């Protein structure tokens, strides 16, 4: 996130790495077919990527001082879509977590709801759905730029917050949620550890989070995220582990036995690259796993280095991971010198007719371009080939900054995307002038009319 005072990725990772100077397709093989009635097809000036043929992007935040950051989206039946983000009403005010909900798959939206009621700086929200219930978690900081002091969770529309106790002091952490089988699960990092906590949805409090993995790497584990298997009895966690010269993507499985979880050994999912980051994971209804992460290649200033998104899957029938992980798009993006210093991919699954469609969104700008935009690409043939990336944010121009996408499919098959959009009309700082934008489209990928890897 482009806000060093609230972003642990900047404070603890980028501060240990060299900073960069400000700002610095694969040939289209076949067309991606999208079914969107009445929407025009265009080509973006930003790197030549085709424009997204969904609804016109529009702000769903209403930040009076243009300080809406860090959006996340979730969707599910019955026709539910919810978006959470961190916002600050004015200079000097505390930062809080806000939510908007829809009960008609984002045709209309509720008014903005304030979810965090704590007195500190609330940031880095995560969100998940369980039936009609919407849950949000976030981290509190004592002051802007201060240390993390607590993690909280709340159910939207119910009121009240619940703290997740931790015996290990929190530093540069980010809680991630998942729901399954009547339980709410959470993972986060603290020091050299990954911690896990679970509560039944009918229970009002969280137990103390338990360390489930301890790293021996120089900088330890970062940014774990998790998925719950289709039966609710398996947990799957991925994270970024940072050694002295190599960053790897790690995976660990947990098997639930009543209230207890037994965790297997950690294993690496990556090979051949030395700087990998921000993984995310999801499980389909057959129990197959899908994982994406970012990759930076080369040396020197980060805004002059190529970045990619890689994908792998675990096939339950063969009990094997796809290895090596493949690049979603063979053409690189680059990322501006302000936070986030790396692209941060988001993942969404849609299942129909016995197939699982996987879509991935990420942000960046193409070599020779200026201004970042949000891209999306999909596959429905187990990652063998991917659709031509589309410019979801439709961002153009050197002042465009569309960052940190989050995507989700609704029950109608619409793909929803949200991101943090710089308000160039405000001028001045590219650090603070942001609103949260949203778009949606019925996304249909007809293979083999895609760009192959």
Q: What is the pLDDT of residue 37?
A: 24
DSSP 3-state of 452: strand
Q: What pLDDT digit, counting tens, does each position of 59-92 carry?
A: 999 998 889 999 999 999 999 999 999 998 777 7
Question: What local confidence, expressed as pLDDT, does residue 11 receive?
Answer: 38
Write b or e for each residue in 181-198: b if 16 or more Cβ atoms lie within 10 A of its Cβ, otherwise e.
eebbbbbbbbbbbbbbbb
pTM of the model: 0.88
Q: Contact 217/245 with Cβ under 8 angstroms?
A: no
Rounded to whole angstroms, the Cα distance separating 374 from 104 reads 25
Q: With a cut of 70, say whether residue 152 has pLDDT above it.
A: yes
pLDDT (tens digit per residue) in 29-65 = 222 222 222 222 333 333 489 999 899 999 999 998 8
Q: Name the CA radius of gyration of the chain, rounded.
A: 20
pLDDT band at 444 (very low <50, low <70, confident <90, very high): low
Distance of alpha carbon 433 from the chain centroid: 21
DSSP state of 112: P
304 burial via Cβ count (<10 Å: 0-12, 13-18, 19+)? middle
Write out the H or E segment, with its range, that includes residue 434.
strand 434-442
Query: In the numeric block, which tokens belong to residue 37?
Result: 């009635």
Token pair in block for residue 100: 């908007």
pLDDT of res. 145: 60
Of the ranges 4-8, 120-124, 307-311, which one carries the lowest mean pLDDT score? 4-8
In the 3-class helix/strand/coil scheme, how is 134-198 assigned residue by residue?
EEEEEEEECCCCCCEEEEEEEECCCCCCEECCCCCCCCCCCCEEEEECCEEEEEEEECCEEEEEE
pLDDT tens per residue, range 186-238? 999 999 999 999 999 999 999 999 999 999 999 999 999 999 999 999 999 99
Read off the pLDDT of residues 343-362 as tens digits, 9 standing for 90 and up. 999 999 999 888 999 999 99
């Amino acid at each position: 996130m482009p806000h060093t005072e609230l972003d642990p990725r900047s404070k603890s990772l980028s501060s240990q790495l060299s900073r960069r100077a400000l700002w610095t397709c694969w040939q289209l093989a076949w067309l991606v077919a999208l079914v969107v009635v009445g929407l025009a097809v265009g080509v973006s000036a930003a790197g030549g990527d085709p424009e997204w043929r969904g609804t016109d992007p529009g702000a769903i935040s209403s930040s009076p001082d243009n300080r809406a950051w860090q959006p996340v989206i979730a969707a599910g039946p019955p026709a539910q879509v919810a978006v959470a983000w961190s916002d600050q009403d004015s200079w000097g005010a505390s930062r809080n977590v806000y939510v908007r909900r829809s009960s008609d798959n984002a045709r209309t939206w509720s008014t903005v709801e304030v979810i965090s009621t704590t007195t500190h700086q609330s940031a880095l929200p995560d969100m998940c759905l369980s039936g009609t219930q919407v849950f949000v978690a976030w981290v509190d900081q004592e002051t802007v730029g201060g240390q993390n002091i607590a993690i909280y969770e709340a159910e939207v529309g119910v009121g009240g917050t619940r703290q997740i106790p931790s015996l290990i002091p929190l530093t540069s952490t980010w809680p991630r949620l998942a729901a399954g089988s009547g339980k709410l699960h959470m993972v986060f990092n603290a020091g050299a550890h990954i911690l896990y906590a679970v509560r039944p949805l009918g229970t009002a409090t969280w137990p103390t989070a338990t360390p489930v993995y301890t790293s021996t790497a120089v900088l330890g584990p970062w940014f774990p995220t998790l998925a719950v298997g289709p039966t609710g009895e398996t947990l799957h966690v991925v994270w970024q582990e940072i050694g002295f010269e190599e960053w790897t993507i790690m995976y660990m499985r947990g098997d639930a036995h009543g209230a207890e979880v037994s965790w297997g050994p950690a294993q690496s999912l990556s090979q051949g690259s030395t700087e990998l980051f921000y993984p995310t994971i999801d499980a389909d209804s057959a129990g197959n796993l899908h994982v994406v992460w970012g990759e930076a290649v080369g040396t020197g200033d980060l805004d002059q280095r190529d970045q990619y998104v890689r994908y792998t899957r675990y096939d339950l029938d063969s009990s094997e991971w796809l290895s090596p992980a493949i690049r979603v798009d063979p053409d690189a993006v680059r990322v501006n010198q302000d936070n986030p210093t790396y692209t941060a991919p988001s993942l969404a699954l849609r299942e129909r007719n016995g197939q699982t469609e996987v879509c991935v969104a990420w942000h960046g700008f193409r070599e020779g371009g200026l201004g970042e935009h949000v891209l999306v690409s999909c596959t429905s043939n187990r990652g063998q080939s991917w659709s031509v990336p589309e410019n979801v944010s439709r961002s153009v121009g050197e002042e465009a900054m569309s960052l940190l996408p989050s995507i989700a499919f609704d029950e109608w098959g619409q793909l929803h995307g949200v991101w943090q959009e710089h308000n160039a009309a405000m001028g001045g700082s590219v650090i603070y002038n942001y609103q949260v934008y949203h778009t949606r489209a019925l996304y249909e990928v007809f293979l083999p009319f895609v760009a192959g890897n």
